[in-house]
Structure 1
Amino acid sequence: MKKLLFLLFFPVGIMSAQETLQLSEGQNSPSASLEDVAWIAGHWQGEAFGGMAEEIWSNPMGGSMMFVFRLVADNEVSFYEVGHIQEVDDSIILQLKHFDKNLRGWEEKNETVDFRLVKIERNKAYFEGFTIEKVSEDQINMWVLIESKDSAKEVLFAYKRM
């Protein structure tokens, strides 16, 4: 899948259990609102690839929750992401764009990496290839499905609240 090949997250750990889901052919996203995922808001950090991964998520406002991500390794930014979870058609979608350390975009100008909602639970949101789980008030886990030509693996990001 094109969207997952562009996604370059750096792993904290590789999981063997299935944590990410996909929509079936022709299946629509379930009804959901930003209130269902408002628990994501906050400033989160975790170690990744010898550096520090950081995400800052806003509270819901104006039909979206925005976020920024950066990976800092060897005291230098490796890359950034900017994105949001947005309310669309009685559901939500996670969209993002990648940027290098000099803010040059990886995706084409009008392209985003999109993760449609598959399933929503009280403390877990399953987007296509991307799952976010509230472990406690001070910890969230994010699993990302990374695909290459020959394999696919889920990568875990274990974040703590700052």
Structure 2
Amino acid sequence: MNRFFFVFLFLSLSIKAQNTTTLPENTKSPNATLSDISWMQGNWSGEAFGGITEEIWGPPSGGSMMFSFKLVADGKVSFYELGHIRELNKTLVYELKHFNADLKGWEEKDDVQSFKLVKVEANRVYFEGFTFEKVSDNEINIYAQIGNEDGAAQEVTFNFKK
């Protein structure tokens, strides 16, 4: 019976975070360029967290692709994210900051959330805790590991359409 429980637990955990991953310890990020994720550019919208989401990605320029994210729930902005994916040392890094509706930052002034590149596939780009998936020219998914108030993480899917 214990063996069954552990197999069930392992399968449950594996299914729970099936689209996101982390970079194995003592492993370097693979070589990559912005062309590997240039399909993200555009104006995207969807639904999440009980509201409407908007994500805008600019084209690659100056060694980065800039984005903005907005969540509107109950007719009001809940929060914003600003960030970019940039080329650094022959690979990509995903960096962002969060802001309240009044633009007061969540992170300290000079702190940035940074996520290393894990791998690149034909229609997916994996960063630590985030995966960007091209479903079609007019649809993308972003999978994100998001922490709960109790400290546990869960994978959330953001489905966006142009």
Q: Which has the larger radius of gyration?
A: 2
Unmatched runs of 5 consecutive residues or more in structure 2: 1-14
The Cα RMSD (Å) is 1.3
* TM-score, normalised via structure 2 length: 0.87
In structure 2, the partner of 1:10 is none
Query: Matched residues in 1 for 2:68 and 2:151: separation?
Result: 30
Aligned residues: 147
Report how far residue 147 of structure 1 moved.
Answer: 3.1
Question: Given the superposition, is the C-alpha separation of residues 76 and 32 from structure 1 closer, same or farther in structure 2, using an over 3 Å criterion?
Answer: same
Unmatched runs of 5 consecutive residues or more in structure 1: 1-14
Percent of aligned pairs with the same residue? 53
In structure 2, the partner of 1:67 is 67
Written as runs of structure 1 = structure 2, the 5 A alignment for 1:87-106 is: 87-106=87-106
Query: Matched residues in 2 for 1:79 and 1:141: separation?
Result: 20
In structure 2, the partner of 1:22 is 22
* TM-score, normalised via structure 1 length: 0.87
Task: Give every structure 1 segment of 4 or more consecutive aligned residues whose post-TM-superposition deviation is greater than 4 Å.
Answer: none
Relative to total residues, which structure has the larger helix share, 1 or 2? 2
| 1:1-58 residue CA offsets vs partner (Å, 9 max, x unmatched) | xxxxxxxxxxxxxx73511010111111000000010000010000122210100000
Instruction: Name the structure, 1 or 2, with higher relative contact order (CA <8 Å, separation 6+).
Output: 1
Query: Matched residues in 1 for 2:33 and 2:113: separation?
Result: 20
In structure 1, the partner of 2:134 is 134
Query: Matched residues in 1 for 2:56 and 2:151: separation?
Result: 33
